[in-house]
Amino acid sequence: MLSNLNTPQREAVKYLDGPLLVLAGAGSGKTRVITRKIAYLVRECDFDARHIAAITFTNKAAREMRERVGELLDGKQAKGMTISTFHSLGLAILRQEARALGYKPQFSVLDAADAAGILAEIIKTTDKQVLRRAAGRISNWKNALLTPAGAEQAAEDEADAQVARAYHSYQATLKAYQAMDFDDLIRLPVDLFRSEADVLTRWQGRLRYLLVDEYQDTNGAQYELMKLLAGPMGRFTAVGDDDQAIYAWRGADVENLRRLGEDYPNLKLIPLTQNYRSSRRILDAANRVIRHNSRLHDKNLWSELGHGDPIQTVECKDDRHEAETVAVRIDAHRFQVRGRYADYAVLYRGNHQARVIEEAFRAAKIPYLLSGGQSFFDRAEIKDITAYLRLIANPDDDPAFIRAATTPRRGIGPSTLERLGHYAAERHVSLFAAMFEEGAKAALAAKQLHPLLEFGEFINRLAFRAEREAAGTVLDEMLGAIRYETWLYDSEDERAARGKWENVREFVDWLTRKGEEEGKSLVELSQTVALMSLLEGRSEDEVDAVRLSTLHAAKGLEFPHVFLVGVEEEILPHRECLEGSRLEEERRLMYVGITRAQRSLTLTWCKRRKRGQEWLPCDPSRFLAELDDGDVKRAGDTLAPEAAKAAGKRRLADLKAMLGG
């Protein structure tokens, strides 16, 4: 447990006398400190695993950490340990304490799209910009732990006050649906702990030691939750890097680093300075870039790994050329070193940049995995199935009711739903409850009521079984009963239908497995699903494929070879963030990108880019100049598409020769 740790790392693992903050640069082993410390607590300090909670930034990171810890502890020792995101932890707390907050334990968790749908109806707008701004504002209020009333008081002008009133209706609607949005998963536990001392004490007894990774990106509400759980003694280890704070736009606040020192005067600070991830040229480039920010202190990261390959920059004609260049280079390099696709990552600032790269990879037959993009869970077919699951768990979830009742079509049309909705609103009950009431008979025609009741009874039967039988069995029967596959083939062309059905099967298999492994019922699983969509998707560990990821989603990860694309002014830094603190956040994003690389780093930029119908000239990012110490290798148009094709053919010939064909 203490082997392969340097002196300060070992000190951090063993330190238990009070609150601890490990503040250190990228690749210095912060995450390693957390995994080792978990094992240390269990094996050396006789902690029961159930009393330990480790908090990571993404579900993917949680999964990785669970695997690491699994290598250090046997199954029995690790049993009952909490390794999750703040959101999953909040959900676990709320599931047990829902009643105290006026919720049923089977409340629904809405994803961002469903939440936006509810808000759109309240502020009566279809303008995406307006909607996004209002949603963002409400989210910020929630993360600052403001109630609707508090928000109205804090509102800066009349427009803001209007949003605050929308926040009020939005919250009331969520409550009526017995639903929560992502921010509620943090805010409500905090509310609860602040008002119910005995509940807090119980949870403090349950989780006796907290370990928090990527602490620099916690927001106000998350910090408060951590503080409450850790108690006045501050039983926690937090690790983070202020140079990697990249979530200010979502309410994260680096100020929380400073507050930690104020709130815990006995906070112990341990710096780490040796980087174990990157070769020296990469590390030096990262250090040079981040030095342009105004920072509290220089971390002076150093590395014992060799100099490594020079960093390369490639100037490309346009984004298609850029994508093809990356494809060719990856293919050629992989062939040269007989490596794996999984050793390569292509990172970019915005999701929209992925499309051309995907196209080029498909053309070049390079397998790839997309993360941080449109999530698997945002697909229509997955949301259809999820609507059923939500409804089974929580019949008051009206948005889920509408989606499930009408997909596949079963004779419940808009006019039926409108009348039912009207009646339900008058009676202050959910759609589901309304149709079983006597009055519904008067409000609806018999041929409207009949399919509704049939649907309602179907859901009731499923709900009954979902609590008693294995998730997989119930799911399979449900899919059969609603004839989802047939409906897909009836309403889409064959290829699309097949693709969607495969996704549904994969989803169902995944749920089935999860149900078996974690001993969870379908009802419990349905709540996890909404959370899974929050930051990432499925398990992808064993697949040999190039990783395509946004810079944000790549945080905490490492890859032998990294391609950073679109390193241009107005992309990275983003055109809305060219000044002040926002520019500094972009620079930190660049720093995160560079420091993902272990052995090689290639940065590409385009001379022109299409915006709408127009070609616009682009400039290389200022960050390229900042990282350049004269040692950076520049490649021009050396690999034009024609040359690339020729190279491809040659490779194929080589390969055939090698195989003796």
Show binding-site residues.
24-31, 277
Site string for ligand ATP, 20-39 (x = CB under 6 A): ------xxxxxxx-------
> What does 6 interact with, of Mg ion, ligand ATP, none (CB < 5 to 8 A by kind)?
ligand ATP
Q: Nearest approach, Cβ of 344 to ligand ATP (angstroms)?
A: 17
Three-class secondary structure assignment of 117-177: HHHHHHHCCCCHHHHHHHHHHHHHHHHCCCCHHHHHHHCCCHHHHHHHHHHHHHHHHHHHC
Q: Nearest approach, Cβ of 592 to Mg ion (angstroms)?
A: 11
| Residue ranges that bind Mg ion, judged by CB under 5 A | 30-31, 556
Contact between 276 and ligand ATP per CB under 6 A: yes
> Which run of H or of E encompasses 331?
helix 319-337
Here the tokens at position 235 are: 């039983």
Per DSSP, 609 falls in state: E
Distance CA(241)–CA(556), nearest Å, equals 11
Per DSSP, 377 falls in state: G
C-alpha radius of gyration, the chain, whole number: 26
Contact between 8 and ligand ATP per CB under 6 A: no
Q: Nearest approach, Cβ of 216 to Mg ion (angstroms)?
A: 11
Q: Nearest approach, Cβ of 6 to Mg ion (angstroms)?
A: 16
Measured from the CB atom, the residue of 456 and 556 that comes closer to ligand ATP is 556
Is there a catalytic annotation at residue 213?
A: yes
Question: Binding to ligand ATP (CB under 6 A): which residues in 36-65?
Answer: none
Is there a catalytic annotation at residue 214?
A: yes
Q: Nearest approach, Cβ of 332 to Mg ion (angstroms)?
A: 31
For residue 310, say if its preceding peptide bond is cis, omega within 30 degrees of 0.
Answer: no
Known binding-site residue numbers for ATP: 24-31, 277
Return the residue of 1, 9, 178, 507 that touches ligand ATP, per CB under 6 A: 9
Contact between 6 and ligand ATP per CB under 6 A: yes
Q: Nearest approach, Cβ of 523 to ligand ATP (angstroms)?
A: 35
Measured from the CB atom, the residue of 5 and 144 that comes closer to ligand ATP is 5
Return the residue of 97, 111, 183, 241 that touches ligand ATP, per CB under 6 A: 241
Specify whether the CB–CB gap between 275 and 301 falls below 8 A: yes
Distance CA(53)–CA(84), nearest Å, equals 8
Which residue has the closest beta carbon to ligand ATP?
29
Strands 179-180 and 597-606, sheet pairing: unpaired
Output b/e per residue, 436-458; b: 16+ Cβ within 10 A. Answer: eeeebeebbeeebbebbeebbeb
Contact between 549 and ligand ATP per CB under 6 A: no
- Helix, strand, or coil (residue 42): helix
Distance CA(97)–CA(191), nearest Å, equals 12
Measured from the CB atom, the residue of 30 and 588 that comes closer to Mg ion is 30
Specify whether the CB–CB gap between 4 and 220 falls below 8 A: no
> Which run of H or of E encompasses 475?
helix 471-482
Looking at the DSSP assignment, which residues form a beta bridge with residue 219?
252
Cβ neighbors of 538 (< 8 A, separation 6 or more) are 376, 506, 510
Specify whether the CB–CB gap between 35 and 68 falls below 8 A: yes
Question: Binding to ligand ATP (CB under 6 A): which residues in 244-263?
Answer: 244
> What does 143 interact with, of Mg ion, ligand ATP, none (CB < 5 to 8 A by kind)?
none
Site string for ligand ATP, 287-326 (x = CB under 6 A): ----------------------------------------
At residue 553, what are phi and psi to the nearest 5 degrees?
-75, -10
Binding residue count for ligand ATP, defined by CB under 6 A: 18
> What does 303 interact with, of ligand ATP, Mg ion, none (CB < 5 to 8 A by kind)?
none
Measured from the CB atom, the residue of 4 and 195 that comes closer to ligand ATP is 4
Q: Nearest approach, Cβ of 591 to ligand ATP (angstroms)?
A: 10
Which of 152, 214, 319, 397 is catalytic? The answer is 214
Number of other CB atoms surrounding residue 431 within 10 Å: 24
Site string for ligand ATP, 555-584 (x = CB under 6 A): -x-x--------------------------
Which of 30, 60, 379, 622 is catalytic? The answer is 30
Specify whether the CB–CB gap between 429 and 446 falls below 8 A: no
> Which run of H or of E encompasses 586?
helix 580-594
> What does 8 interact with, of ligand ATP, Mg ion, none (CB < 5 to 8 A by kind)?
none
Distance CA(393)–CA(463), nearest Å, equals 7
Measured from the CB atom, the residue of 6 and 140 that comes closer to ligand ATP is 6
Measured from the CB atom, the residue of 358 and 558 that comes closer to ligand ATP is 558
Which of 9, 31, 85, 237 is catalytic? The answer is 31
Measured from the CB atom, the residue of 556 and 593 that comes closer to Mg ion is 556
Measured from the CB atom, the residue of 212 and 478 that comes closer to ligand ATP is 212
Specify whether the CB–CB gap between 183 and 143 falls below 8 A: yes
Return the residue of 60, 277, 609, 622 that touches ligand ATP, per CB under 6 A: 277
Q: Nearest approach, Cβ of 103 to ligand ATP (angstroms)?
A: 35
Specify whether the CB–CB gap between 247 and 136 falls below 8 A: no
Interface with ligand ATP by CB under 6 A: which residues? 4-6, 9, 26-32, 241, 244, 276-277, 556, 558, 595
What positions carry a catalytic annotation?
Answer: 30-31, 213-214, 244, 596
